[in-house]
Chains A and B, each alone.
Chain A
Amino acid sequence: MKWMLGFAMLMACVVRAGDAPPMAEDPQVEARLVVIAEELRCLVCQNESLASSHAELAEDLRREVRKLIREDKSDAEIKTYLVDRYGDFVLYRPQVKPLTWPLWFGPFLMLLLAVWGLWRYLRLRKNALLAQAEPQHEPIVDTRAKD
């Protein structure tokens, strides 16, 4: 009787079509890989990230990164590993260092400058108009809120 049970169990394993297993051997490592690789640039297909590129070198590099992840290296260490070999070009997120200060702080400075400029402009403008305004030259334009 035992053999019938064993046989039935075996058949169950063989016959049932299964839940598709993930391509990745280790989903946790893979999840980390994707996060890191999306910030890295493929050196062959230079308009793609390391995560999505199909180039052979990209596959090799992903393999390397997986190995480093398994060795418990941090994100920063993994990026340094690649930068040591390929230079800053491989990072899609440029490092913040004197060379890239204009890049990282530029937009914020532009915003400050622009808002300050706007403020000054509105103030100056008010004064200039007060200086030159004479009542009868006010434009006859409907100033109620136009819907």
Chain B
Amino acid sequence: MIPELGQFALILATMLALLLGILPLWGAVNRNIVWQSLARPAAFLQFALVVLSFACLAASFLSNDFSVKYVAEHSNRLLPRAYQFAAVWGGHEGSLLLWVLMLTGWTAAVALFSQSLPLNMVARVLGVLGLVAVGFMAFILITSNPFDRLFPIPADGRDLNPLLQDPGLVIHPPMLYMGYVGMSVAFAFAIAALISGRLDAAWARWSRPWTVIAWSFLTFGIGLGSWWAYYELGWGGWWFWDPVENASLMPWLVGTALIHSLMVTEKRGSFKAWTVLLAIAAFSLSLLGTFLVRSGVLTSVHAFATDPARGIFVLCFLAIVIGASLTLFAWRAPAVTLGGSMGLVSRESFLLLNSVLLVVATGAVLLGTLYPLIIDALNLGKLSVGPPYFNLVFAPLMVPLLFVLVPGTVAHWREARLNDMVLRLRWIALAAFLLAIGLPFLFGEWSAGTALGVFLGMWVALGSLQHVVERIRKPGRIGGSFWGMHLAHFGMAVLVLGITGVKSFEVERDVRMALGDTVTIAPYTFRLADMVDVKGPNYKAMQAHVEVLKNDQVIEVLYPEKRRYFSSAMPMTEAAIDSGVLRDLYVSLGDPLPGDTPSWSMRVYYKPFVPWLWAGVLMMVFGGVLAALDRRYRRGSVSPLQTAGEALSSAS
């Protein structure tokens, strides 16, 4: 009963999405107020129905209803409750339902928080979101229905992949999807603006907070994925340039460019066409990511069970949505006005440079990710493009970006004086330079790469600090935008320093240990004190007790495990990590080794600055949230001067 209810709710939601997609948009064209005002209620009702549908699927999981095929494939009686719930989005069909839940959620949020927007804009934006929803819902109902029944009903389900039985699984996909799907709002605003011809500073002001929130979620989701891979996979890696990782990075890069471009459009009415294109691109890359993961076109550890039929559907959907958007762009964008003037050196040109560098970086990642496919499609053979390529190509593009970040935040709008900026920034430039020369020696060997990383990280960090200090001294309220920007930039600096630190100074020891043996990575010593058998809810494990000593004092005991889950043949490594402010100590238990005394293979890592990776990401996330919640964007707090300015700039 419940699965059928869930399916029925989804069907109704699809019909509502269709209604939302057609009537309000039509109503905006022929000025039919009644049809336009259908948008908000339709958005709310659509969301409610999808919530119901999702709840039904969740209920099926929590009640172990193995007559539902999807539940049988992704759950198990022994699976702990929390993971039974998380299993709802553990497979292709359920994850799509999660996507739709978020899409309709964002749509409802836009419906709720758009009171200050003119009705015809609201109608258009919600209409576009409705059309996107129709595509996804249809995809689910036609090719990927999670409510399909299974007969005969198995007594127990197939277990979830043990790798996925982890708190990280509970939050990583939802956060990531919030980001991906959130980009649809900026997209909808852009399309609405193109359709109506109303492409102005006001549009940018409306779009910006939505885009920044989506960006924050995406940052968080990507960071979570990295962190999860780090502690779950057992060898301390955190970024592999895997196609699906790249699929999440690309919308992030373009999203970052979009946020900065929106600033210029909002402030000076400039770059409108470019900003619109970025908004279309950000969401398109989200959709492309969906396609890449589910079509079987690329090999990836993340890929869901693939099926060419699904691939065809998604590709058609992709082609229609993006093709139509880009056609609309080609048709309408040329008529867009230029906005204010700007000098060759000005904040606008710095922000444009930011766009350019981020877009080129995105292009490089896209090229590397798709090149094997292109070569194969042209029948020219099979090749691989992996981390060596991406590292070599991506890092050099980030260097100028990080460098111009600081002058970009202090440059005047419209016309900036290079001399003034040099004067203003000379001390932090010197400080960063000196730190770059000196700091690496404290942690190990000096190298040009390390120094460059330290320089850029310190440059950005000091730049933000200097700016904040200067601003605090002046009178006047400081808005969330300011704090948010600097927190996010500072977070970026921390991230860069973290990456530089760990890549330059990490140490790995791969040893065989018997009870009592030690291995030293100065100033820490690791001793294998004991090895015991433990039992978990659905697994059996071998657990090592590893004492960590510093100055002959035991400061910590780590418990790495090797688990054997009951319903899966694969053994899983659970690494043990001791996190400090400046470093992680990471121990991974390997296989027992043959020999007279029992011994095991162990991998011991000293990973300096890894916690800075996560700290940096969190700072960026909170920076984004702060910026989005700036009073400027909330209802009724727009100053008359600003509205007048917008009105005039949209008239020009």
Q: Which residues of A contact B (CB under 8 A)?
A: 17-24, 30, 38-39, 41, 46-49, 52, 87-94, 99-100, 102-103, 106-107, 110-111, 114-115, 117-118, 121-122, 125-126, 128-129, 133, 137-147
From A17, A141, A145, contact of B268 by CB (8 A): A141
At the interface, yes or no: B592 with Cβ under 8 Å from chain A? no
In the complex, the 4 A-B pairs of residues with the closest C-beta atoms, listed nearest first: A92-B386, A17-B516, A93-B388, A107-B364
* Chain A nearest Cβ from B493, distance in angstroms: 19
Interface of chain B residues 491 through 527 with chain A (CB within 8 A): 509-520
Query: Do B386 and A144 touch (CB < 8 A)?
Result: no
Whole-angstrom CA separation of A138 from B300 in the bound complex: 53
Given A20-B511, A20-B602, A92-B389, do A114 and B356 touch, yes or no (CB 8 Å)? yes
Query: Do A125 and B385 touch (CB < 8 A)?
Result: no
Which candidate, B52-60, B282-290, B367-375, is the interface stretch facing chain A? B367-375
What are the residues of chain B within 8 A of A91 when measuring CB–CB?
A: 383-384
At the interface, yes or no: B437 with Cβ under 8 Å from chain A? no
Which candidate, B39-47, B530-538, B644-652, is the interface stretch facing chain A? B644-652
Q: A17-B516, A94-B384 are in contact. List 16 more A-B contacts (CB 8 A).
A: A19-B517, A19-B519, A19-B520, A20-B519, A20-B528, A41-B386, A49-B387, A52-B235, A92-B384, A93-B388, A94-B371, A107-B363, A110-B360, A147-B467, A147-B478, A147-B482
**Chain B contact residues: helix, strand, loop or mixed:** mixed
Which interface class (under 10, 10 to 19, 20 to 34, 35 or more) fits B? 35 or more
From B383, B397, B652, contact of A139 by CB (8 A): B652
At the interface, yes or no: B410 with Cβ under 8 Å from chain A? yes
At the interface, yes or no: B149 with Cβ under 8 Å from chain A? no
Query: Do B338 and A17 touch (CB < 8 A)?
Result: no
Query: Do A139 and B268 touch (CB < 8 A)?
Result: yes
Query: Do A18 and B517 touch (CB < 8 A)?
Result: yes
Residue with the greatest number of chain B CB neighbours at <10 A, chosen from A41, A93, A139, A142: A139
At the interface, yes or no: B18 with Cβ under 8 Å from chain A? no
30 A–B contacts from the bound complex (CB under 8 Å): A17-B517, A19-B517, A22-B512, A23-B510, A23-B511, A47-B240, A47-B242, A48-B301, A87-B381, A88-B381, A90-B384, A93-B389, A94-B385, A100-B383, A106-B367, A107-B393, A110-B360, A111-B360, A114-B359, A118-B349, A118-B353, A122-B349, A125-B338, A125-B341, A128-B338, A140-B645, A143-B412, A144-B412, A145-B410, A146-B267
Query: Do B512 and A39 touch (CB < 8 A)?
Result: no
* Chain A nearest Cβ from B147, distance in angstroms: 31
Whole-angstrom CA separation of A86 from B300 in the bound complex: 20
Whole-angstrom CA separation of A38 from B518 in the bound complex: 27
Residue with the greatest number of chain B CB neighbours at <10 A, chosen from A17, A39, A52: A17
What are the residues of chain A within 8 A of B397 when measuring CB–CB?
A: 107, 111
Q: Which residues of B contact A (CB under 8 A)?
A: 235, 237, 240, 242, 267-269, 299-301, 338, 340-342, 344, 347, 349, 352-353, 356-357, 359-360, 363-364, 367-368, 371, 375, 380-389, 392-393, 397, 410-414, 467, 471, 474, 478, 482, 509-520, 528, 590, 601-602, 641, 644-645, 648-649, 652
What are the residues of chain B within 8 A of A102 when measuring CB–CB?
A: 367, 371
Whole-angstrom CA separation of A128 from B340 in the bound complex: 11
Whole-angstrom CA separation of A38 from B360 in the bound complex: 27
Smallest CB gap from A117: residue in B? B356
What are the residues of chain A within 8 A of B300 when measuring CB–CB?
A: 47
Whole-angstrom CA separation of A110 from B365 in the bound complex: 12
What are the residues of chain B within 8 A of A106 when measuring CB–CB?
A: 363-364, 367
What are the residues of chain B within 8 A of A24 when measuring CB–CB?
A: 510
* Chain B nearest Cβ from A144, distance in angstroms: 7
What are the residues of chain B within 8 A of A100 when measuring CB–CB?
A: 371, 383
Whole-angstrom CA separation of A125 from B357 in the bound complex: 20
Whole-angstrom CA separation of A88 from B384 in the bound complex: 7
What are the residues of chain A within 8 A of B518 when measuring CB–CB?
A: 17-20
Query: Do B383 and A145 touch (CB < 8 A)?
Result: no
What are the residues of chain B within 8 A of A18 when measuring CB–CB?
A: 517-518
* Chain B nearest Cβ from A124, distance in angstroms: 10
Whole-angstrom CA separation of A45 from B3 in the bound complex: 36
Whole-angstrom CA separation of A17 from B528 in the bound complex: 10
